[in-house]
A and B are shown apart, each in its own frame.
Chain A
Amino acid sequence: MLRQISASVLSWAYLALVYAFIFLPVAVLVLFSFQDGRLPVPPFNGFSLQWYEAVFADRKLMAALGNSMVVALVSSVISVLLGFLAAYALARYKLPGSALQRGLLIAPMTVSYLIIALGLLSLMNALHVPLSLMTVGIGHVVINLPLCFAIIYASMGDHHINIERAARDLGANDFKVMALVTAPMLMPSILAAFFLSVTFSWDEFIIAFLLSRFDVTLPVEIWSMLRSGLNPKTNAIGSLVFLASVAVLLILELSLFGRTKKQ
């Protein structure tokens, strides 16, 4: 009996430690974003929203936030679209060297972001393409396309083939089969791929740093703020970034698991 109780106490303590280890840094970050004082370090002097005010008043920071949103949304839409088309083609048609093509599509996942960024940087230079948010977006498509492809390809089962065949038999052309039948059937995995890409693009730093110039994304802006030292304002913007990620995760959870439960 005693052994059982101590075992259960130990396992609960272990669980608490795991979560503390994961979330304590975030909790500290969020806590000191409300710091009434100039330094985001203990002791906690009192509750204040002044740093949030400062964040929202900071034009550069707000522009970077907007840039990040645009890059995340646009690059994710493109990644999902390309990933879906590639998955559809490889799952439904006999293509030459399809195993090799699948491998090539997924390969960028194994390459570090730094290498991808350096490669793209020298490519853009060679092509005389000026660095901008577009080049950052291209970089994010490069890293997110393999992910989107893998998620969507894995969900394209053979049991969908007859359903698509039925649609074709009833008069749908290839585009209508894809748009009205295949994509809606795969919507859970398409949404999962989309939201994962959004979160990856949202807090990606290295590619965004190396491939941007005047307009920068939020992580890059935060990095340049950090160079001038710690300051509760960075905590405040960090908390907002975290909040956005949580929001995306919640949308993903609700839209995806709400759907799968229904089906």
Chain B
Amino acid sequence: MTACVSIENVSKIFGAFTALDNVSLDIRAGEFIVLLGPSGCGKTTLLSILGGFQSPSSGRVSIAGKDMTYVAPAKRPTTTMFQDYALFPHMRLVDNVGFGLRMRGLARAARDEKALGFLDLVGLKASAHKRPHELSGGQRQRVALARALAVDPDVLLLDEPLGALDLKLRRQMQDELKAIQKRVGTTFVHVTHDQEEAMAIADRIVVMNQGRIEDFGPPSEIYMRPRSLFSAGFMGEVNFVSGRVAAADASSAHVETPLGSLALPAKNFTASAPKAGDRITLTIRPEHFRADDKAEGPTVVLGEARVAGSAFFGTHYRCHLQPSAPDTRALVAHLPQSASVREGEIVPLAVRAADVVALPATGGHA
């Protein structure tokens, strides 16, 4: 089963601390949503409010169109998968997975059959009669997933479920989680602070910071066209270059920066339309510097820079570049494996105008 979720103007205040500040979010049925942000950004509080473990100070939560704001966890079409798995230590796996069905009054034979089916889904049918302490971390994780799915929730809430696993197992579980979500079709809301994990599994990512939603969209959109400086910085390495809009019309804007001036399409101003005189910050991903390779379409050259250092990272060279223009900060560029860069060399700073995103200079940590 699956359902859409709607969060309207939800705030949560703990004494003097605002954990959630007027958050609104619409999740479609069957979507895999990841709430991403640093610790203390409010993502776990939002998940608890969806699960019914906390109620918002103000605002409204509805699932499948029904108001759920003050409904108890047991009465919601949601189940939560906890960070520490929270398996029942005294029960066999089949009883753990069947617990929710038992609470719904299913007879033993029927619930055992269904529980075995879900254990099969996560590849643990053969261990059905073991107890949780006999399992590894990854296996417990799977049991917790099977237990949460066994009651056919409309929405599954996952609270940093992969946090306790080592990196390799984590990547493997991400793929499994995504595959299982596709199979069952349930709406998943997953909390994490790992941006790679978010990109690996999400249909859409919600970037949160200080109780507010900074950005919301598919992973590629969030990465390529972030709508806030925080979002740009949190989703991976990025260079910030301050600038000013010199002139703007409906389709493009002329921007002046210490590195030089360039024309940007108006749609690259993701937060608000450009106006002449606006102070802005340009965000340029390291891999968008093209060295002097002109093969991939027209580029803009933002002056020259000296290579202050470079290291080979396998997929690319990571270089520190010091622009020749005065009063400018060093930039990080990822140049292709084929590029031959030497320290001290002077390279042109070439970027495609379409890759550069312009955001308002105020607000954010740049």
B59 within 8 A of A: no
Known: A159-B84, A162-B84, A263-B133. A169 touches B79 (CB 8 A): yes
In B83-105, which residues have CB < 8 Å from any A CB? 83-84, 86-90, 99-100, 103-104
A260 CB to closest chain B CB (Å) equals 11
The interface residues of chain A lying within 8 Å CB-to-CB of B79 are: 169-170
The interface residues of chain A lying within 8 Å CB-to-CB of B86 are: 162-163, 165-166
B72: nearest chain-A partner, CB-CB: A168
In A144-191, which residues have CB < 8 Å from any B CB? 159, 162-163, 165-173, 176, 180-181, 184-185, 187
* Bound CA–CA A162/B53 (angstroms): 11
A106 CB to closest chain B CB (Å) equals 28
The interface residues of chain A lying within 8 Å CB-to-CB of B84 are: 159, 162
B75: nearest chain-A partner, CB-CB: A171
B155 CB to closest chain A CB (Å) equals 12
CB–CB B103/A162 < 8 A:
no
The listed residue with most A CB atoms (<10 A of its CB), out of B51, B72, B74, B79, is B74
CB–CB A165/B88 < 8 A:
no
CB–CB A173/B74 < 8 A:
yes
Known: A169-B79, A169-B80. A163 touches B74 (CB 8 A): no
Chain A interface, DSSP helix/strand/loop, else mixed: helix
The interface residues of chain A lying within 8 Å CB-to-CB of B52 are: 169
CB–CB B89/A172 < 8 A:
no
A183: nearest chain-B partner, CB-CB: B90
B132 CB to closest chain A CB (Å) equals 10
B52: nearest chain-A partner, CB-CB: A169
Known: A162-B86, A181-B88. A169 touches B133 (CB 8 A): no
CB–CB B89/A170 < 8 A:
no
B82 within 8 A of A: yes
Chain A residue total in the interface (Cβ 8 A): 19
Known: A263-B89, A263-B133. A170 touches B82 (CB 8 A): no
The interface residues of chain B lying within 8 Å CB-to-CB of A184 are: 88, 90
CB–CB A165/B103 < 8 A:
no
CB–CB A170/B90 < 8 A:
no
1/0 per position for A246-263, CB-CB distance to B under 8 A? 000000000000000001
The interface residues of chain B lying within 8 Å CB-to-CB of A171 are: 74, 100, 103-104, 151
The interface residues of chain B lying within 8 Å CB-to-CB of A181 are: 88
CB–CB B99/A167 < 8 A:
yes
* Bound CA–CA A180/B102 (angstroms): 11
CB–CB A165/B53 < 8 A:
yes
Q: Show the binding face of B for A, using Cβ within 8 Å.
A: 51-53, 72-74, 78-80, 82-84, 86-90, 99-100, 103-104, 133, 147, 151
Q: Show the binding face of A for B, using Cβ within 8 Å.
A: 159, 162-163, 165-173, 176, 180-181, 184-185, 187, 263
9 smallest CB-CB distances across A and B, nearest first, come from A170-B100, A171-B103, A166-B86, A162-B86, A184-B90, A169-B73, A163-B86, A171-B74, A162-B82
Q: What would 20 A/B residue contacts be, using CB atoms closer than 8 Å?
A: A162-B82, A162-B86, A163-B89, A165-B53, A165-B80, A165-B82, A166-B80, A166-B147, A167-B88, A168-B72, A169-B80, A170-B79, A170-B100, A170-B103, A171-B151, A180-B99, A184-B88, A185-B88, A185-B89, A185-B90
Contacts A170-B147, A171-B100, A172-B103 aside, 18 further interface pairs with beta carbons under 8 A come to: A159-B84, A162-B86, A163-B87, A163-B89, A165-B53, A166-B82, A166-B147, A169-B52, A169-B73, A169-B78, A171-B103, A172-B74, A173-B74, A180-B99, A184-B88, A184-B90, A185-B88, A263-B89
